[in-house]
Chain A
């Protein structure tokens, strides 16, 4: 491995040696470059974490990196005062919005995807093309009409309204993803079950659904993250008592400078669960992302 060993091989491969040294130098440069890039990508999040764990006066007087020379600055006061201020309820709202919105999308989309994949019906291809078209429809289009609709239904501001909105806008991607998975399931499995006289809903529940676990996991993590991280829908449809963390934090942005001691720990709390999920289920995350490069 070491370059020192090279001279023994003498002349014939001289050029090779040169090339290899150049390679190794280049390789070293690549290493350094990539380390720098990785640091560059880590730095902002690290900064948020550190800022969230320093007192207000420290944050106002010096940069967060001084923590590393003065570890005494470390404190959890921001977190305890944030939780004392009622941030916990918006955390809970986020959960109440995200979990149903994710489960509903999975269930409804799986049924639809099953129909697209395994039940013949007239106009199926056309309807599926409509679903693909809906993939890229911006949510902005629905804000005003749905606000009106919710007003008429009396669910404006409620968690239910936010959940339904997320379910509807999660469906095109979910159906697209699951349908493409379902058509890959060997037809023999279904045929066998159908031959045994199993009703269609049972085939769906006992044959297709279990096989589709990886796809459902991908869909689940994606939908979860979208809803958990959403700001716009909550901004329009959730009133103050039902607001998720993103909206609660957004309302503090106006006085960013003086509210850093709330915003930094709040933002960090809001991203900790997605981050844990991300690390736990990254393979599904990647798969969903590869699948979802259309939205």
Chain B
């Protein structure tokens, strides 16, 4: 069924359907629907569907049942229409069309009066659905338009005032900005990832398992997904897995000794000074005379487990000591290493000459360092700024700056599998010959992908993309759940703001109605897109 379902957008069933729905037509039109030509690209979604489900260990029975129904019903037409998958969709039409001959459409009555059920029967079949749709969907649209013209309590007519405030109030402008970010970023990433994964699943043997894993979030409620990602985005790298990964990767590439606040004394006797955040020796130094770099600005707590500072032995090579030049309880000699003073280990030390770093080393636990094998000459010793920044603690995912990207990340986690399965369905319908022919002609994999796969897939990609846009416009749960209360204003989106002003304490149903109409207006272009696609496929 997938095919026909999916197909409606696509040609396959379009044809099938038309027979039944839009009046008499030539029976011969149908077979075209199963032709695998790329020209009929949209048919891939139809024909492809079964494959996709197949790879998810699925389609077997569905295809079966489809073809069963066909074959019992109308063996030759089923056989005629080729692919079992598109089977019932495509197979059906011939039957339908044949019958059409007998029954006609509007002319049904005269052709065979007793076969055509009377139109009033349709009323009975449609009544429950029509009543529900009219009362729960259509009436609310009308009511909301009306209500949006009144103020918060509904007593005073304000014309378009609520719409004006949507576009002037800074908090709703933030929601619109966020929705724009969502619409621009999320559908593209989801579609692109879906495409990459769909193409790559064809290269692995465990593609079924892979698809299941990526697809699973679709079954999970967005609330649960929100809770899941609140845990992922915990600030503390010891608790949140995102920051655990980020800090691990970060620390692997840059060591952070972390002596925030450490600095040289600010007087003319101090042998070291601050320069662009780094600590450098005031004078150039030479090998043989140990360099002293006394620092202050750390509490004794920071160094309570550190080893006592030692003077670096002379000898060849540039050497020296970095230590905390403060004695607990006071005393000691400035700029000299006193016995109670502690060395600062793990500090990165650079030997700089002519503006270029000639060598880098690190202090030992007692604060000493030595550059061995450094050419003789004069150097400035520099302790780069990285020594004095706070240890990296991960990103503030749930803070005002990153909250929207963080939620979009969760959204991608939920929807990438959807895009992948849909695109994989389209992919499996691409004629292999075309790809093979290109490869034999010497095309690289990239060229095949870029010049053949993607163009042939473009109808499916468009469907995925549009579906994602519609979905993103209505995004609500993930923002509501993942954004902590304090940053919700920064993460806010239209759908959430609508709920907030109407029910979540805002108490302004006039503005809420205007927001919901605004949301409806935003999806209208896609409504039209769907209708046009359907009509094209049907017609």
| Interface set of A (CB-CB < 8 Å, partner B) | 27, 30-31, 33-34, 37-38, 41-45, 47-48, 51, 59-65, 108-109, 111-112, 114-122, 124-125, 127-129, 131-149, 164-165, 167-169, 171-172, 175-177, 180-181, 183-189, 191, 194-195, 200, 204, 211, 213-215, 218, 225, 228-232, 235-236, 246, 249-250, 253-254, 256, 260, 263-264, 267-268, 270-271, 274-275, 277-279, 282-295
Contacts and interface: CB of A to CB of B under 8 A. Distances in A.
Contacts of A42: 213
B223 A184 contact: no
A122 B106 CA distance: 8
A214 B517 contact: no
Given A41-B213, A136-B527, A144 B147 contact: yes
B200 A44 contact: no
A183 B65 contact: no
How many residues of B sit at the interface, in one of the four size bands? Answer: 35 or more
Interface string B64-102: 011001100110010000000000110111011011101
B189 interface: no
Interface in B185-229: 197, 200-201, 203-204, 209-210, 212-224, 226-229
A212 to B, nearest CB: 8
A128 B122 CA distance: 13
Given A228-B221, A271-B220, A283-B53, A180 B241 contact: no
B1 A214 contact: yes
Contacts of A43: 232, 241
23 contacts: A34-B201, A37-B210, A37-B214, A44-B231, A63-B238, A120-B122, A133-B531, A137-B520, A138-B520, A140-B499, A141-B144, A141-B517, A172-B133, A181-B5, A186-B96, A187-B99, A188-B74, A214-B62, A250-B223, A253-B226, A268-B224, A290-B3, A295-B470
A289 B140 contact: no
In the complex, which of the residues A51, A139, A144, A147 has the most CB atoms of chain B within 10 Å of its own CB atom?
Answer: A144
Contact of A164 (B136, B228, B231): B136
A45 B216 contact: yes
B92 A267 contact: no
A283 B516 contact: no
B530 A184 contact: no
Interface stretch (B323-331, B346-354, B473-481): B473-481
B241 A111 contact: no
B534 A129 contact: yes
B515 interface: yes
Interface stretch (B111-119, B155-163, B257-265, B269-277): B111-119
B4 interface: yes
A136, A139, A200 — most chain B CB neighbours (10 Å)? A136
Contact of A138 (B239, B512, B523): B523
Contacts of B60: 283
Contacts, number: 414
Contact of B523 (A118, A137, A148): A137
Given A108-B129, A253-B481, 16 more contacts: A27-B203, A34-B201, A38-B214, A41-B416, A45-B228, A111-B126, A141-B517, A144-B509, A187-B20, A187-B96, A187-B103, A284-B62, A290-B5, A291-B2, A293-B467, A294-B9
A119 B92 contact: no
Contact of A177 (B3, B5, B135, B226): B5
A73 to B, nearest CB: 14
Contacts of B499: 140, 143, 232, 235-236
Nearest to A31: B204
Interface string B24-58: 00000000000000000000010001001100111
B332 interface: no
Contact of B421 (A63, A144, A270, A286): A286
B308 interface: no
A255 B365 CA distance: 43
B92 A183 contact: yes
B381 interface: no
A267 B523 contact: no
A171 to B, nearest CB: 5
Contact of B58 (A116, A172, A283): A283
A256 B116 CA distance: 61
A139 to B, nearest CB: 8
B133 to A, nearest CB: 6
Nearest to A48: B228
Main secondary structure of the interface of A (DSSP, over half): helix
Given A34-B210, A283-B56, A218 B1 contact: yes
A133 B530 CA distance: 7
Nearest to B87: A184
Nearest to B58: A283
Given A59-B239, A231-B221, A149 B519 contact: no
Contacts of B19: 183
* Residue with the greatest number of chain B CB neighbours at <10 A, chosen from A119, A195, A204: A119
A28 to B, nearest CB: 10
B422 A175 contact: no
Given A138-B474, A145-B147, A214-B66, A118 B20 contact: yes
Interface in B110-169: 114-117, 119, 121-123, 125-126, 128-130, 132-133, 135-141, 143-144, 147
Contact of A290 (B6, B98, B495, B512): B6
